[in-house]
Amino acid sequence: MLKHKGHSSKKNNLAINAVALQDHILHDLQLRNLSVADHSKTQVQKKENKSLKRDAKAIIDTGLKKTTQCPKLEDSEKEYVLDPKPPPLTLAQKLGLIGPPPPPLSSDEWEKVKQRSLLQGDSVQPCPICKEDFELRPQVLLSCSHVFHRACLQAFEKFTNKKTCPLCRKNQYETRVIHDGARLFRIKCATRIQACWRGYVVRKWYQNLRKTVPPTDAKLRKKFFEKKFPLLVPIQNGQFYPSACSFRRTAAAPRLPSESHHFFLAVLA
């Protein structure tokens, strides 16, 4: 009888272990709690919408102005964790057949993960899924220090129906919203704008310099003063006289005095 009882207890333990493992595999494959695809939030929103429709009442306008409270502006650079509460332990984990999931990362551990990501330069490089720059789109950091677009990771989780990192295949990672890519993109845009403005200022300064300061080369210097004084036409012996068009414009155009001749000759020298 004792032998039969020992056999039956072993069979029961094997059956319980097999059921526990099957239950754990089913829970692992279903992945009810995906970090980026928050199904719980959508369910709460649907319930709230239904309750609002039921409790709808007519509102009488009294004509009095109501004081509206301004919504508090949240910090756009604030980082936060997206993962919901960890699921309860399965029967296999309670029996010790499979190790329990790791505890959620603390703030110090997240800082170490972020520093590792910065050293790798993940935010500078494009997203590994869509191969596009992060720019101002939402960006998420995984507990394995890899960085993706939030929308790309959400689409990847829905397509594969698994919570594994697209690069290192780590299971049951944690996600955190960061803004390193957006910050780098703003710095890049600011440097481009500043470079364009500095180039515009230098070009304007050089054009003004060419118009005001005569060149040192003799030929260029001659052209410079011809453009400056179009009514003066040089003739022989290095003297300048008014052109024919000036006589047409004015009836009596006096000749330039000798002092002005010496002045222009000194300038052209």
Whose tokens are 């000194």? That residue is 266
Do residue 148 and residue 88 come from a single domain? no
Q: End of a domain among 50, 68, 101?
A: 101
Considering 196, 213, 230, which residue would you say is the last residue of a domain? 213
**Whether residue 188 sits in one domain with residue 254:** no
267 with 175, same domain: the answer is no
Is 17 in contact with 97 (CB distance < 8 Å)? yes
Which residue ranges of the chain lie beneath pLDDT 50?
1-2, 31-32, 39, 41-42, 44, 52, 71, 73, 235-237, 244-254, 256-265
Domain assignment of residue 152, given as a range: 103-213
Query: What pTM did the predictor assign?
Result: 0.58
124 & 193 share domain: yes
Separation in Å, CA 252 to CA 246, 247, 248, 249, 256? 9, 7, 9, 9, 12
Residue 60 belongs to some domain of the structure: no
Is 66 part of any domain?
Answer: no
Residues 161 and 127 in one domain: yes
Cβ(143)–Cβ(105) under 8 Å?
yes
Task: Report if residue 52 sits inside a domain.
Answer: no
Query: Which two structure tokens, joined as six digits, stand for 192?
Result: 């481009």
Distance CA 95, CA 20 (A): 8
Q: Last residue of some domain: 195, 213, 231?
A: 213
pLDDT at res. 244: 46
| 35 is a domain residue | no
Evaluate whether residue 58 is within a structural domain: no
The pLDDT assigned to 179 comes to 93
Q: Is residue 90 part of a domain?
A: yes
What does the block give as tokens for 266? Answer: 């000194």
Q: How far apart are CA 140 and CA 149, in angstroms?
A: 6
CATH number of the domain where residue 137 is located: 3.30.40.10
In whole angstroms, what is the distance from residue 15 CA to residue 28 CA?
A: 20
Looking at the structure, tell me whether residues 198 and 156 fall in a common domain.
yes
Q: Tell me the C-alpha distance between 22 and 15, whole Å.
A: 11
Confidence at residue 89, expressed as pLDDT on a 0 to 100 scale: 76
Is residue 238 in a domain?
yes
Q: How far apart are the first and last CA of the chain?
A: 130
Residues 249 and 268 in one domain: yes
> Do 180 and 241 have their domain in common?
no
Q: Are residues 229 and 253 in the same domain?
A: yes
Count of structural domains, the chain: 3
Residue 188 belongs to a domain = yes
How far apart CA 218 and CA 234 sit, in angstroms, is 14
Asked if 107 and 209 sit in the same domain, the reply is yes
In this structure, the answer to whether residues 205 and 266 fall within a common structural domain is no
Residues 96 and 124 in one domain: no
